[in-house]
Amino acid sequence: MEQVKLLYTNDTQCLYGVCHNLLNVVAPRTQDPVADYLGKVNVLFHEFNEVLPAAFNPAKEIEQQSRFFIVVILHELAEKYSHVRNQILDSPIIPNFTSTCSTLLCVPCQPSTDPHVTANNSSALVST
């Protein structure tokens, strides 16, 4: 049971969910009353602080900032990269910012017309 909990509740997935909800609340211009709007933002603010609490040392703060930017990058990726986003979010090890960018740069822009390149080869690049 503990392994299942770890698999489906990693911090990156939770942070992604909070950021996704926040962007859905603040991105569109809302017609909600101001009190309702601020209430939604307040709930998300508390959820964000639970997932990414204040850091008390510089190394931890840099790690948290990196994770936040990774989540923003993943959220705003085009839909054609959803398989890469899911692979990164499902990873038990949270990649750093540089590793995430490197992984995304390894994904081919267009499907290859080369008959020697298979889907397994491109997914192998993503997983490394």
- For the whole model, what pTM was predicted? 0.57
Which structural domain, as residue segments, surrounds residue 14?
2-127
At 125 the pLDDT is 47
User: What pLDDT does 123 receive?
Assistant: 47
- If you ran DSSP here, which 8-state letter would residue 54 be given? P
User: Residue 114 is encoded by which pair of tokens?
Assistant: 């080369």
CA angle 11, 19, 34 (to 5 degrees): 140
Average pLDDT per block of 10 residues along the chain, 128 residues long: 48 79 74 83 86 86 84 84 88 82 81 52 48
How many domains does the chain fold into? 1
